[in-house]
Amino acid sequence: MRPPPRFPVVTQQRGVTLIELMMALVILSLGLMAVSQLFPAGIRGQIRDRLYSNANYYAQETVEQVSDKTWADPSLALGRHPAAAFETLGTNATWLRFYEVDPMAAPLDNLRKVTVNVSWTYLDSPRSVILTTYVRR
């Protein structure tokens, strides 16, 4: 009688074939390409939101400056300020800002409506932020 072998004899070897490996790499690369498409969209969204935040900051800055003025101050005269053009803001003159002062009808004639408009262009599309406040006599 023969003693049993120390190591079992393997009749079939199992492993990964070259075709299976290539298919796994193709699937992995397709997944990576799909994920890489998300990064440019995320960056565009981040830039768009930063531009909106800066525009809101510039508009709020004007609202605070106008709110501190007295009723007789020339910057609260009725009409558009600056009268002819825009105030350019930012290092590359990215934002254009102006504000309009309008009278209110009675019984609110002791108020003036101040509307601040900050506009810019992003991806060939015009955008703007408009803030409104009321200044009391």
The string of pLDDT tens digits covering residues 5-59 is 677 666 676 777 889 899 999 999 999 998 888 888 889 899 999 999 999 999 9
Task: Give the separation between CA 131 and CA 37, rounded to whole angstroms.
Answer: 36
CB 113 within 8 A of CB 106: no
Q: For residue 117, give the nearest of 91, 98, 95 by alpha carbon.
A: 98
- Cα–Cα distance measured from residue 131 to residue 128, given in angstroms and rounded to the nearest whole number: 10
pTM of the model: 0.72
Q: What is the pLDDT of residue 5?
A: 66
For 110, which DSSP code?
T
